[in-house]
Amino acid sequence: MDRRKNMCFNIVSIYYGDRPLATRGKPSESKDYYFRCYASAGSNDCGYRQASTIEDLCNGCKKYNYIKPLTKEEIREKYYAGKQREVMVVSTSGWHFKTV
């Protein structure tokens, strides 16, 4: 999974380039977008927080940490004290075991 696509509903992508709508590209991949967080409106005097990437904007946010998927190393450190374990991976097409 791509962590950039996983964002909460408070984030809005804003286009600032000059390309037509059909050729702008995806906000998570194009460099002509910046992201604004509407949950941060009351936290500072200058308005909403904004950044060029979702990671820069959402770093440390509890909602972003909840929805982003963990890597193999993060799962191993967080849940298995750094030891390798076999886990079951479930998808829409079936399930299988994988070592993390």
Consecutive 10-residue averages of pLDDT for the chain (100 residues)? 59 85 79 82 62 80 67 84 84 86
pTM of the model: 0.51
Classify residue 18 by its DSSP letter: -
pLDDT at position 8: 72
pLDDT at position 80: 85
